Amino acid sequence: MTVRAFSVIGGEDDLPVYPFTREDRLESHYFMAWERRRWLNSDMRMKGRPECRALYFDLICISFEQSPIGTLPDDMSLLAKFTHTDQGHFEQLCASAFGPLHKWRRCRCEDEEEVRLYHPMVLRTLTEAVARKADNRAKTEAANIQKRLQRLRTTVAGFAPDLAKNDAAIRWMDEWLIKEGCEYRNATWIERAMMGWSNRMFDGRAKR
């Protein structure tokens, strides 16, 4: 999942284009970050009625299960249904200054021209979650590469101890094995990789 720029399209309404699409998912995130200090000192909590605050929180949670993630339908009947509230009563609550839809805004979805609702706080939370996910993935991939290189180095050391000390050789053989589609690095494959490195070095010297 990548985060696109939160752009503004032209047109009569100049609605912002939501940066996430229906293809974007955070399926492994069964929880959401909640800035409790920000919430405890917010106008919504300090001035909103208890019922409005409860529905406000419900809608934030519901938005994480919607598509695109973090949005709500721009439809009062659906929102009332989501919150198990009578539509007329729900609309009355939303008409108050600190209603269930406090600071929710209209936007357009990039992959469709559908108009939905988004909340800046929810969008910021999602953006940070995506960044953390990408960072964790990068760290995991880097750790896996290091482990794979170390295993290869240990195996090569059993054949040629001096060659195992050559970082460039180990990295080249690792890339060669991946390119050749080697799934199980047995002795035959390791010997072929070592021969490939040897031939590469020989060809390099021959061209001088």
Predicted model pTM: 0.65
Average pLDDT in the chain? 87
Only one residue has tokens 């609309």, namely 91
Cα–Cα distance list, 193 to 154, 176, 179, 203 (Å) = 14, 7, 11, 15
Average pLDDT rounded to a whole number, residues 157-175: 94
Contact yes or no for 39/45 (Cβ under 8 A): yes
pLDDT at 10: 44
Cα separation, 182 vs 140, whole angstroms: 21
In the chain, where do the E strands start and end? 17-18, 71-73, 105-109, 115-118
Comparing 82 with 110, which gets the higher pLDDT? 82
Q: What share of the chain is helix, strand, coil (3-state, %, to 5)?
A: 55, 10, 35
pLDDT at 131: 79
Cα–Cα distance list, 61 to 1, 117, 201 (Å) = 20, 14, 59
pLDDT-derived band of residue 8, with 50, 70 and 90 as boundaries? very low
pLDDT over 90 percentage in the chain: 65
Domain residue spans of the chain: 17-118, 139-206
